[in-house]
Amino acid sequence: MTKQVRSIRPLAVEDLRIGDFVTITHELVESMPLCFIDDSATTQKPKRVWLMPATAGRPLVVREVCLPFVFVETSKGKFRTLDVRRHRLARVSKKYARAVFDAVKRSEPSTDGDPSA
């Protein structure tokens, strides 16, 4: 029995569509240099570093697009707005995303008041 291995595909922002399953692969972080001892520090520019977030690999579903902003929903039903100038996105397979969304739903405690559920 062979299993097909899927991989993410980098996504150009103009290819984003409502209903796409995506993940954040990198996040841009900007910070000022720590050495403010000399006068040249006032002319220094922020340092930019691309980092892999702890949430990399968690699927998000695109709910709306208004570039440069993308409104997404997490597998826990929470919403957030991403700025594609600060986030690199990749498309994940529907099968992978649905598996994660279903697993999260199954792991949530029942809210109907029945402790045995």
SS3 for 36-104 is CCCHHHHHCCCEEEEECCCCCCCCEEEEEEECCEEEEECCCCCEEEEECCCEEEEECCHHHHHHHHHHH
**Taking residues 11-30, what's their average pLDDT?**
94
Which pLDDT value is given to residue 10? 84
pLDDT greater at residue 1 or residue 76:
76
Which pLDDT value is given to residue 115? 47
**Taking residues 59-83, what's their average pLDDT?**
97
Which pLDDT value is given to residue 38? 58
**Taking residues 72-96, what's their average pLDDT?**
95
Q: Does the pLDDT at position 19 exceed 70? A: yes
pLDDT digits (tens, 9 = 90+) for 3-18: 776 777 888 989 999 9
pLDDT digits (tens, 9 = 90+) for 30-45: 988 776 555 555 667 8
Domains with residue ranges and CATH for the chain: 9-32+45-107 (2.30.30)
- pTM as predicted: 0.76
